[in-house]
Amino acid sequence: MIFSLILSSAAAILLYTGLLFLIISIRKSDRGIYLIFALSSFLYGIHLLFQIMAIQQETIPGILLFFKPQVAVEIVAGIFWLWAMAHYTQVKPRRLLWLLTSIFSLLATLNLVLPYGYIWQEVSGLQSINLPWGENYVHLMGIPHPLIVLGVVSNIPTFSFIFYACFRQYQQGERQKASLLAFCIVILLISTIHIYLVDAGVLPQFISTVPFAFLLMIILMSLQFADEIVKTELQLQYYNAHLEEIIETRTRKLQVTIQEATVLKERNRLATELHDSVNQTLHSLIMIADSLPKIWQTHPDEILPGLSKIQQMAQGGLAETRNLLVELNPQRLVDKPLGELLRQLAQAIANRTSLNITTCIDRESTLPPQVQICFYRIAQESLNNVVRHARATQAEIHFNCQHLDGNSEQVKMLVRDNGLGFNQQDVLPSNLGINIMKKRAEKIGAILKITSQPHQGTEVLLKWSFPCSL
C-alpha cells in the first residue's frame, strides 16, 4: 500500500510537470524543447500508473495485462526524453537520433505484440518481493527474451550520446546546465544498470529505482527550466523598459523636429505671401505714384482713376498686412470677432487675386477659442482651394448664428464659388486639403459638408451647435 502511494505521488508530480510545461510551450516561441519535455514527463507518469495497476494484480495474466503497456509507454517516454536532451544541449546528430528512435519504436511495438513482451520469452511464475518497510509485492519470473539484449545494447549509444552532449554543452560555456544534466544521467544510468543486474539474477530482487531516478531528473531539470524562464522574463522586462525609454526619447526628438519643420514651413509660407502680396502691392503703388506727375502734365483727367487705384491697393495691402500679423500671432484669431477676421481674410485674398469675394455676416456669437480657430482655418483653406483650383471669378462667405429648438444655438458658415467644381467620386482619400478640413471639424464636433458638381461651383458648409448658456 505504501509503495503504491509512493508511485502515485511520483506519477502525480510527473503528470503535473508535463501539464505545466505543456502550457509553457504554448506561450513560448521556442516551444520545441518544452513540448518534448512535457510529453516525456506525461508518458512516464502514465507508465507509473500502469505499474501501480500491475503490482496490485496477483495472477500472471493480470500482471501481464498492465505490465506490457507499462514497458511500451516507458520506451516511448524514453524516445521523447532522448530528443529532449538533444534540444536541451543543442547537440543533434539526427542520423543517430532517428536510428535509436527506430530501434526503441520497434521494441515498444514488439513488447505489445509478443505474448510476454520483449523482456520475457516465457513466464514461469511469480516471485514475492519483501520491501524494507514490510510490504510485499509480486514480480514475474521466467526466461529472459533474446530481444532484451537489443534493449541493453541500444542503451549504450544512448547514454554515450548524452554524456557527449553534456561535454559539448560544458565546452560551450553552459557549465551549470551541463553539470546538472550529467549528474541526473549518472543517477539514471546507475538505476538502469541495477535493474538489468536484478533481471539477470546477479543482484537480489528489489523494486526498480529507475522511476525515482527519472523523477529526480525531471524535478531538477524543471527547476533549471524555471530559473531560465524567470531570467528570460526579467531580461524581457529590462529590454521592454529600455525599448520604451528609447522610443520615448526618439519620440520627443521627433516632436521637436516636427515642430521645427512646421515653424520653418510656416515662415517660408509667410515669406512667400509677403513677397507675392505686400511686396508686389507696394511695388505697384510706387510705380503708379511715380507715373502720376507725368499723367498730370499730359492727361489731367486720368488723375482721379489713378488715385482711386492707389487707394484701393493701399487698402488691400493694409488688409494683407493685418492678415499676416494674424498668422504671425495666432492669439489674434481669438481676440477679434470671427466676422471681422473673415472680412479681413476675404479682402486680403481678393487684393492679391482677381477673385471677387463678398462677405455676409448676419449675426455673431462668442465662440470658444478652438471653435473660432477651426472656422477661420476652414474658411482660409476653402478660399485657398478656390484660388488654386476653381478658376472662379466670384466667391461668397456667409456666416450666421441662429437659435434652434430648445436651449441651443447653431453657428453656420458657407463658402461658395462659381468655379469649375469637381466630381466628388474622383477625390482621393489622401487629398490633404479636404482631410485637414474634416479633421478640424471632427476635433470640435462640427459637421462639415462639401458639395460640388463639375462646372457648377463648390459649396463648403460648416455647422456647429452649442448650448445657449455657453
Question: Could you write out the three-class secondary structure of the chain?
Answer: CHHHHHHHHHHHHHHHHHHHHHHHHHHCCCHHHHHHHHHHHHHHHHHHHHHHHHHCCCCHHHHHHHHHHHHHHHHHHHHHHHHHHHHHHCCCCHHHHHHHHHHHHHHHHHHHHCCCCCCEEEEEEEEEEECCCCCEEEEEEEEECCCHHHHHHHHHHHHHHHHHHHHHHHHCCCHHHHHHHHHHHHHHHHHHHHHHHHHCCCCCCCCCCHHHHHHHHHHHHHHHHHHHHHHHHHHHHHHHHHHHHHHHHHHHHHHHHHHHHHHHHHHHHHHHHHHHHHHHHHHHHHHHHHHHHHHHHHCHHHHHHHHHHHHHHHHHHHHHHHHHHHHHCCCHHHHCCHHHHHHHHHHHHHHHCCCEEEEEECCCCCCCHHHHHHHHHHHHHHHHHHHHHHCCCEEEEEEEEEECCCCEEEEEEEEEECCCCCCHHHCCCCCHHHHHHHHHHHHHCCEEEEEECCCCCEEEEEEEEEECCC
Burial of 396 (0-12, 13-18, 19+ CB in 10 A): middle
**Structural domain includes residue 218:** no
23 and 172, same structural domain? Answer: yes
Q: Given phi > 0 = left and psi -120 to 50 = alpha, else beta, which region is 413?
A: beta
226 in a domain, yes or no? Answer: no
401 falls within a domain: yes
Note whether 288 and 172 are same-domain residues. Answer: no
On whether residue 214 sits in a domain, the answer given is: no
Range of the domain at 294: 236-328
| Same domain membership, residue 240 and residue 148 | no
Kindly state whether residues 74 and 194 are assigned to the same domain: yes
Do residue 257 and residue 341 come from a single domain? no
Measuring CA to CA, which residue among 420, 362, 414, 411 is closest to residue 388? 420
- CA torsion through residues 341, 343, 347, 353, sign: positive
436-457 residues labelled b (16+ CB within 10 A) or e (exposed):
ebeebbeebebebebebeeeeb
Nearest CA to 389 out of 450, 441, 458 is that of: 458
Q: Report pTM.
A: 0.51
User: CA-based diameter of the chain, in Å?
Assistant: 146
Whether 390 maps to a domain, the answer reads yes
CA atoms within 13 A on the CB side of 197: 12
Cβ pair 411, 463 in contact under 8 A: yes
Domain end, chosen from 280, 306, 328, is at 328
Q: Same domain, yes or no, for 13 and 151?
A: yes
In-domain check, residue 51:
yes
> How far apart, in whole angstroms, are the C-alpha atoms of residue 320 and residue 277?
7
Task: Kindly state whether residues 172 and 265 are assigned to the same domain.
Answer: no
Among 328, 358, 386, the domain boundary falls at 328
Report the alpha-carbon distance of residue 420 to residue 411 in Å, rounded.
28
Tell whether 58 and 197 lie within a shared domain. Answer: yes
**Domain for residue 420, yes or no?**
yes
Residue 300, pLDDT score: 75
Same domain, residue pair 56 and 160 = yes
Find cell 520475457 and name the residue.
120
Give me the CATH number covering residue 404: 3.30.565.10
Supply the pLDDT for residue 360. Answer: 93
In the beta sheet, which residues pair with residue 359?
397
Q: How much is the pLDDT for 234?
A: 73
Domain-embedded: residue 342: yes
346 and 283 in a common domain: no
Last residue of a domain, one of 271, 296, 328: 328
φ, ψ (nearest 5 deg) of residue 364: -110, 160
Which cell goes with 171? Answer: 565546452
Cα separation, 258 vs 286, in Å, equals: 40
Give dist(CA 345, CA 322) in Å, integer: 9
Do 261 and 157 share a structural domain? Answer: no
pLDDT in tens, the chain (470 residues): 677 788 888 888 888 888 888 888 787 766 778 888 888 888 988 988 998 888 888 888 888 899 899 999 989 998 998 898 888 888 989 999 999 999 999 999 999 999 988 888 888 888 777 776 677 777 788 888 888 888 888 889 998 998 999 999 889 888 888 888 888 888 888 888 877 777 666 766 666 777 778 888 888 877 777 777 677 667 777 878 888 888 888 888 888 887 777 667 766 666 666 655 566 667 677 777 777 787 777 777 777 777 777 776 676 666 666 666 666 666 667 888 888 889 888 888 887 777 899 999 988 888 888 999 899 989 988 998 898 888 899 999 999 988 877 678 899 999 999 999 888 777 766 566 788 889 889 999 999 999 998 889 999 999 998 886 54
Residues 354 and 275 in one domain: no
Sign, Cα dihedral of 453, 459, 460, 466: negative
Distance of CA 300 to the CA centre of its chain: 80
Distance of CA 45 to the CA centre of its chain: 38
* Dihedral angle sign, alpha carbons of residues 416, 420, 425, 431: negative
Domain count, the chain: 3
